[in-house]
């Protein structure tokens, strides 16, 4: 289960490795299946790391305010970490290669 804590007003979370991998896989599946999310994610790849992180935090906060699944919101928030974002980007690229 995720544990939330704050540092300098920024919401952060810690996950065990298995949970993080499961959340990443779930998040990639959601992005892959939703055209609007794919477009959003694609646009993120063109932004600087700071712009991307800000957009991810704003989007995940909007999702939370809309009452979206809390685990899914937490997973999207993980995209703010550049390593997680890169892993999701690579996973989506691999899926696209297999789909062709």
The predicted model scores a pTM of 0.73
Every domain of the chain and the residues it spans? 17-99
Dist. CA 7–CA 95, nearest whole Å:
35
- pLDDT values of the chain reduced to their tens digit, one per residue, 100 residues: 444 444 444 444 555 667 767 777 888 888 898 899 899 999 999 999 999 999 999 998 998 899 988 877 888 888 899 988 999 999 999 888 887 6
Q: Which residues pair with 6 in a beta bridge?
A: 11
Dist. CA 8–CA 16, nearest whole Å:
23
What sign for the dihedral angle of Cα 76, 16, 83, 13? positive
């Amino acid at each position: 289960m995720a544990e939330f804590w704050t540092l300098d007003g920024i919401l952060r979370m810690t996950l065990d490795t298995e949970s993080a991998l499961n959340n990443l896989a779930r998040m990639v599946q959601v992005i892959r299946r939703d055209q609007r999310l794919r477009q959003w994610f694609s646009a993120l790849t063109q932004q600087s790391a700071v712009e991307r992180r800000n957009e991810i935090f704003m989007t995940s906060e909007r999702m939370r305010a809309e009452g979206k699944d809390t685990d899914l919101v937490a997973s999207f928030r993980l995209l703010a970490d550049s390593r997680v974002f890169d892993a999701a980007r690579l996973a989506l690229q691999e899926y696209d290669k297999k789909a062709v």
